[in-house]
Structure 1
Amino acid sequence: MFDSITILAMAGLIGLGIVALTVLTLWQGWLRLKLTELERHPDRHSDRHRADPDHPLGITRIEMADVKERLRKLEAIAAGVDL
């Protein structure tokens, strides 16, 4: 009725399905864990502490604003303007 190649192919497909289902379940569990972490500590994951992905050094937005303000002050000093 079934030759050995057909049985082997069916077993492989069933095994692949089991592995795919297991990986999907693990992925959903990991996402649930990360969501729980975000809900427990929302201040740790706020936007102001997140590094700027466009900046090559990964400087946070607050640090970048601080550097820009210092640069403005130095430029004003160099131009002879009193702050």
Structure 2
Amino acid sequence: MTNLSLIALTGTLVLTGLLVAGMFASRAWFGWLEVRKLELASGRPQADEPVAAAGASGTDRIELADLKARIRKLEAIASGIDL
């Protein structure tokens, strides 16, 4: 093989690989969008929605407030502030 044909073959293989990867990424993206559409159409609260927006009970709110207080204490400890 000559240098020119080796370069042409390498370029063709690289472009083919990029095309296949792009097609795979595109198919995955559209599949993910379809899943999200189905999740939104179901009418159920999503996992990434805040607890209060999902109709949380009073117990859930108390637990959330307790967790936030613990996080504040841990952040204070990490920054060197003594409570």
Range of TM-score over shorter length: 0.5 to 0.7
Change in 2 beyond 3 A, CA 1:16/1:71: closer
Paired position in structure 2 for 1:67: 64
**Bigger relative contact order, structure 1 or 2, given CA contacts below 8 A and separation 6+?**
1
**TM-score, normalising length from structure 1?**
0.54
Q: Taking structure 1 as reference, are residues 67 and 45 closer, same or farther at Cα in structure 2, changes over 3 Å only?
A: closer
Structure 1 residues 71 and 7: alpha-carbon distance in aligned structure 2, compared to 1, 3 A threshold: closer
The residue identity in structure 1 corresponding to 2:63 is D
Quote the residue 2:15 is aligned against. Answer: 17
- Write the mapping of 1:1-83 to structure 2, written as runs, cut at 5 A: 4-42=2-40, 46=46, 49-50=47-48, 61-62=50-51, 66-68=63-65
Where is the helix percentage greater, Structure 1 or Structure 2?
2
Q: Look up the equivalent residue of 2:16 and give its one-letter code.
A: I
* Alignment RMSD (CA, Å): 3.3
Question: Where does structure 1 differ by over 4 angstroms across 4 or more consecutive aligned residues?
Answer: 69-72
Unaligned ranges ≥5, structure 2: 52-59, 70-83
Question: Residue 44 and residue 25 in structure 1: after superposition, are their counterparts in 2 closer, same or farther (change >3 A)?
Answer: farther
Query: TM-score, length-normalised on structure 2?
Result: 0.54
Separation (CA, whole Å) in 1 of partners of 2:9 and 2:24: 23
Please state how far the C-alpha of 1:32 moved relative to its aligned partner.
0.5
Q: Radius of gyration: which is bigger? A: 1
